[in-house]
Amino acid sequence: MQEVQAQITELESQLSGDMLQDMDLKDKIHNLKIKLNGTRLMNSEIKCVGCGS
């Protein structure tokens, strides 16, 4: 868990504030937060329980 949080912190420190440039970093951060919080994808559809996307 601490390793995942450290990865999230490292990626967040690399954010530039430019949405288009940060898209890949934000995606990686989102996926790590899913892993950290234990959120699961439901069925075969890609739905994030945490954010509803």
Q: Which residue has the higher pLDDT, 52 or 26?
A: 26
Whole-model pTM: value is 0.70
Q: Which residue has the higher pLDDT, 13 or 47?
A: 13
pLDDT tens digits for range 25-43: 999 999 999 888 877 655 5
Residue 34 CB partners (closer than 8 Å, separation 6+): 48, 50
Q: In this structure, what token pair is assigned to residue 39?
A: 């959120």
Please state the domain count of the chain: 1
Which of 17, 47, 51, 16 has the alpha carbon at shortest distance from 33? 51
Tell me which residue range forms the domain holding 26. Answer: 1-53
pLDDT confidence of residue 6: 97
User: How much is the average pLDDT of 1-28?
Assistant: 95
pLDDT confidence of residue 34: 87
User: Side-chain half-sphere of 30: how many Cα atoms within 13 Å?
Assistant: 14
